[in-house]
Structure 1
């Protein structure tokens, strides 16, 4: 008699097992919907609170200090670091731009469709598209001007808060990472995926400050909002998978 295939067997994944609620056995199952709701609420609270402070004329002294430090304390000074750092920062910042993020998302969606991982594909589309819309709305509502304290090393035109590059890169890369982690077995592999995405997001955010086009508080808020947005969709994805798998949220061990 032939032994049944493991839920994570490549043959089952190729047949769209993702849509049937396959979850690696070593993934823990906390109350996902509660986590999702908390993440969304905290996201709204952060953007609303910081946006209100900025709208009231609030400005952090540390924002100015960090930006001047990147120019050796001179508003029109040369950027810190060797000459190649400037070119590297411009390349890195492009990884958080609309064009690259759209391409990354489209490639990921196409791959998931080919693998018939329909649930993950729909979650990726929902998380990234809704996130981009939320960031655009936040920018319009707060309308914080770009920093003029130091020279800009790249051309920008939109509002400053929150950093679109920092927020959208966190939304795209972290949402992709956390959702893919739900269908990939092995803690080491999942840890590698998450760490790679996080390092990429941090590098993109730092590049925006170095290039003089964002206040550090724009980037920090963007990181926080993007991470919470990814957490929200991660929780939604886990809840749907467990529902499809027929597992109890109250007693996940059963």
Structure 2
């Protein structure tokens, strides 16, 4: 389909010759066996944390974690306002509003790169993951900690941490999606490793703000990471079928 004249951009400098532009190869799938092994290990850790919390075994760990960032008789945060603002900025990356915008942006970017399968897989991972986390919160029904003053607003049940679950699910899910642009293991592992570190920082920020127990964020992060790997393996074929459907082709056409 020819572009309309109003859609044509006139460059201020000579455009780069077409033969000098190289797009990365695309379509390298995640090894689903490895994904399931990683998911199994993480689900086992999540189940152990659920057992410990429901049997009141995590008291010492929770108390230590909540006091680690506090000092003085009034339990104010260490490090001054600069550290406090950094913690608040970090935790915002796992909030519903910002993380939703990030998922939408990532899905659109994947469509621009003609990675329809990965775009559908990422959206499905996040959609079903949010439902799974809400179910976990409802089943456990743990109250939020009152050991130290809260440094941000937070509502609902405490276990598992929604920020921790969502950040692990979203950022690891995104890393798995964009890993399909490279066949090099070093690139793939770097993407996934960075996503794991970033999501772990978001998870621990909830403890630093006093709105979650350390056991909440540990279980939340493990559950979110486990779901990201599980979805990459089990939702691959449904996502591929959706990407190859008429709707999938129309979405790709809309981004080009």
Note the 1:106-185 alignment, pairs <5 A: 106-185=104-183
Equivalent residue, structure 1, for 2:254: none
Q: Is the 8 A contact 1:160 1:218 kept in 2?
A: yes
Q: Secondary structure of 2:76's match? A: coil
Distance 1:168 1:119 in 2: 21
User: Are residues 108 and 38 of structure 1, via their aligned partners in 2, closer, same or farther at CA, if it must alter by over 3 Å?
Assistant: closer
Gaps of 5+ in 1: 1-8, 14-21, 243-254
How many pairs are equivalent?
A: 220
* Cα separation, 1, equivalents of 2:25 and 2:146: 55
Q: Work out whether 1:63 is the aligned partner of 2:65.
A: no
* Worse-matched range after superposition: 183-192 or 107-116: 183-192
Measured at CA, do residues 122 and 85 of structure 1 come closer, stay the same or move farther in structure 2, by a change above 3 Å?
same
- Judge conservation of contact 2:94–2:164 (CA < 8 Å) in 1: yes
Taking structure 1 as the reference length, what is the TM-score of the superposition? 0.75
Per-residue CA deviation, residues 149-183 of structure 1 (Å, 9 max, x unaligned), is 00000011111101111111000000110122133
* CA displacement, residues 81-138 of structure 1 (integer Å, 9 cap, x when unaligned): 2331011101110000001111011111111222321111111011111111100110
* Correspondence 1:10 to 2:23: yes
Q: Output the CA distance in 2 between the equivalents of 1:119 and 1:206.
A: 32
Find the aligned partners of 2:32 and 2:158 in 1 and give their Cα distance. Answer: 36
Q: Contact 1:37–1:232 at 8 Å: present in 2 too?
A: no
Partner SS for 2:118: helix
CA separation of 1:117 and 1:58: change in aligned 2, threshold 3 A: same
Return 5+ residue gaps in structure 2 as ranges. 1-21, 241-256
Bigger drift between 192-201 and 115-124 goes to 192-201
CA distance in structure 2 between the aligned counterparts of 1:215 and 1:118, rounded to whole angstroms: 39
Q: Contact conserved, 1:54 with 1:142, CA < 8 A, in 2?
A: no
SS at match of 2:70: coil
Structure 1 residues 37, 122: closer, same or farther in 2, change over 3 A? Answer: farther
1:189–1:56 distance in 2 versus 1, CA, 3 Å = closer
The separation in 2 between residues aligned to 1:38 and 1:190, in whole angstroms, is 15
Match of 1:6 in 2: none
Residues of 2 paired with 1:107 and 1:46: CA distance?
A: 31
Q: Take 2:28 and 2:62, find their aligned partners in 1: how far apart are those partners?
A: 43
Residue 212 of structure 2 aligns with which residue?
Answer: 214
What's the offset of the Cα at 1:55?
4.0
TM-score normalised to the size of structure 2? Answer: 0.74
> How many Å apart are 1:66 and its aligned residue?
2.0
Indicate the residue corresponding to 1:23 in structure 2: 28
For residues 89 and 62 of structure 1, the distance between their equivalents in structure 2, rounded to whole angstroms, comes to 21
Change (3 A) 1:194 1:52: closer
SS at match of 1:182: helix
- Alignment check: 8 A CA contact 2:58 2:215 kept: no
Give the equivalent residue in structure 1 for 2:8: none
